[in-house]
Structure 1
């Protein structure tokens, strides 16, 4: 595994005491950190069948000052994917925070890093599966499984934890982003002259069919993992925000034929930058529920990241 640090597999992902709990925004040390908002909502097909939302979202600022936003879309065909998505998010966030500098500086060893990252994530998921699942009471009732008292942990196969992964980490004047599977990873930039544009950084990775993609548990995950890196300060443009979406919101926020983001993406990022955090959370959840979810059958999740003051940057693959 090289110098990748050992992570603890746990369903909670990021927990108090792990060194990655979100910090108080009133702390002067992070007063200028990026702002974030996130939301997820059960899709119409899952609402009809009683299946819980399989998307998971995360946004956190680490004590190191690294801000991470991420989401994972659990595979519809994997019955425990909502648990796997949560574990994958927590593990990935910690890995990227620990390995940020190494990933950003990588030159001819980027494929080695891809393999190491996927190996570590798969190892965490395999350990989690081996320990058995502490399945919620609602899932047990829905699936007709034994109550917790008679069977506290249920057997789980590694592949039943399948999910995609989208992640952005910002540290100082730099960013690192990961994209595995479908969904869209977008960036907002202010061009020289003040023109603001939002464009895809990572487009959906689908197979021959729309509903095919690559998951963290896939055998080809290391080859399919896309890594983007960039500085947030160049003369060409100003990186002012990121948007991450699962495949559900694509019908509303991604113009598939043109391969472009919808204008609403910039509006969402600007709202994240300007509105109080509590107001933004309420509005984003309402937008997802009332505007985006009715246009798709899939679960929907969004993560927004906005710079308080634009810093210049240009992504590089």
Structure 2
């Protein structure tokens, strides 16, 4: 059995009209039986948040790859990481992300706030998943023989479109971390552009009809990265764009 995955982003209709770049970024990497994934959503008010989102994702994955070379890949434990160890790992990852953004800002002579973005990261094995979230967006899992589960309630501030960014002073304190044991057949990470169609806002539960076709697509597709027409058409469809004008990112994983 192996992990299959695909990550795709689509620019929102508002950004198209304003001739702005897509401010989302996502990526994942597979090594042996472990998959690492991250997605970030650049702040709409931040001038270079598209650069910040890409740098945050790449830095987070690089940091976890260096950490995992021994502890995760070569000796992948059947039992999940202890909660405290997971929090330490993700706290260190977040610190490295902030350091990379500070370095980028200094070298380009602009404020680190110009790179503001949210960040969601996960480490998954066939037997457990550990994840962190700073800001909004969502990670949904489908454990075997259970219902779809939302790992975190999205971080929403007091006002509309207010959330925590990795560049916020309180980012480390507001970082959410969780560890879930059990076999994970499907994982979906996304930025907040898809929240209103994927998550039932009245009780913060996944909307199964949104996720089921995506999971079935992975089951039926031998190489999702090459056969990506279904995902691209979905993200760029008029029907979806009628419900959200924001940038949209999907990171999908399946252990098959």
Q: In which range does the TM-score fall when normalised by the shorter chain?
A: 0.7 to 0.9
Shift of 1:108: 4.7
RMSD, aligned CA: 2.1
Establish whether residue 293 from structure 1 lines up as the match of residue 247 from structure 2: no
2: CA distance, partners of 1:126 / 1:33: 37
Shift of 1:172: 5.0
1: CA distance, partners of 2:126 / 2:195: 30
1: CA distance, partners of 2:143 / 2:212: 9
1: CA distance, partners of 2:43 / 2:254: 28
Q: Deviations over 1:263-311 (max 9, x none)?
A: 2212212211222325652101111110423311211111111110xxx
Structure whose CA Rg is larger: 1
Q: Deviations over 1:154-184 (max 9, x none)?
A: x322111111111222235332212111011
Alignment correspondent of 1:135: none
Asked whether the 8 Å contact 2:86–2:130 carries over to 1, the reply is no
1: CA distance, partners of 2:86 / 2:35: 22
Shift of 1:199: 1.9
Asked whether the 8 Å contact 2:90–2:132 carries over to 1, the reply is no
Shift of 1:96: 2.4
Alignment correspondent of 1:163: 117
1: CA distance, partners of 2:129 / 2:95: 22
Shift of 1:111: 5.4
Q: Secondary structure at the match of 1:230?
A: strand
Specify every segment of 5 or more residues in structure 1 that has no aligned partner in the other structure, as ranges: 1-31, 133-154, 233-237, 309-317
> Structure 2 length as normaliser, TM-score?
0.87
Establish whether residue 269 from structure 1 lines up as the match of residue 215 from structure 2: yes
Establish whether residue 55 from structure 1 lines up as the match of residue 12 from structure 2: no
Specify every segment of 5 or more residues in structure 2 that has no aligned partner in the other structure, as ranges: 73-79
Question: Per the alignment, do residues 162 and 189 of structure 1 end up closer, same or farther by CA in structure 2, a change over 3 Å counting?
Answer: same
Asked whether the 8 Å contact 2:3–2:33 carries over to 1, the reply is no
Alignment correspondent of 1:77: 45
Shift of 1:112: 4.8
